[in-house]
A and B are shown apart, each in its own frame.
Chain A
């Protein structure tokens, strides 16, 4: 019973640390084809109409 309990605790700890890592968003190391670039204030201002007010400032 004791060893079973230890095994259960080890698995639980391992599972919890995995869940914790996922929730804390550990950095993903990989290459990507996507290449997002920052949109400038000028691009935003030139691309919008005066008719609208920002819903989110």
Chain B
């Protein structure tokens, strides 16, 4: 399921000097057979990186993280994000990573998933359980909000990073407010 990934390229970086927690956002691009995708890597305080991806054609759509493309390429897309995590770690060995499994919204079926332990969250968590061990990272999650945090064990105070992430997640993921 996660054996193959898509090749990706760095597109551009936006710096956020006046922002509360966000330092910069780098956009990467990869292509499947049907879609072009953007992966946004947001770097926050405390070396926390949050990965978000969506189809490029929905860049300005408010539900870009919630729609279904029907491509059935989730495993390969998640593997691409894991490869990006490896690349970020080479650049910043102190990096921590966070993600949220957005709930599905399908207007054609009048279906909106609950935000608790979403289908996407379960897939991302399955990928993390299988591909990332506990030697390098401490794992934290909150099923109620479908959020996951990997804290780099190189940090002296892992729980401090977790507490700071808790505070920042309210801003990073507006759906938690």
Whether B126 and A22, one on each chain, are in contact in the complex, defined by CB atoms closer than 8 angstroms, is no
- Which residues in chain B, 128-151, are within 8 Å of chain A measured between CB atoms? 129-142, 144-145, 147, 149
**SS of A interface (majority):** loop
For A33-45 the 0/1 string (1 means CB < 8 A from B) is 1111111010110
Contact B126 A36 (CB under 8 A): no
Against A, the Cβ 8 Å flags (1 = close, 0 = not) of B106-146 are 00000000000000000001100111111111111110110
Which residues of A in the span 13-57 have a Cβ within 8 Å of any Cβ on B?
A: 22, 25, 27-28, 30-39, 41, 43-44, 47-49, 51-52, 54-57
- Chain A's closest residue to B132 (CB) is A56
Given contacts A32-B170, A44-B134, A54-B130, 20 further A-B contacts (CB under 8 A): A25-B47, A28-B167, A31-B167, A32-B167, A32-B169, A34-B142, A34-B145, A34-B166, A34-B170, A35-B142, A36-B140, A36-B147, A36-B149, A37-B140, A38-B162, A39-B139, A44-B133, A47-B126, A52-B2, A54-B131
> Which B residues are within 8 Å of any A CB, using their own CB?
2, 21, 23, 45-47, 82, 85-86, 89, 125-126, 129-142, 144-145, 147, 149, 160, 162, 164-170, 176-177
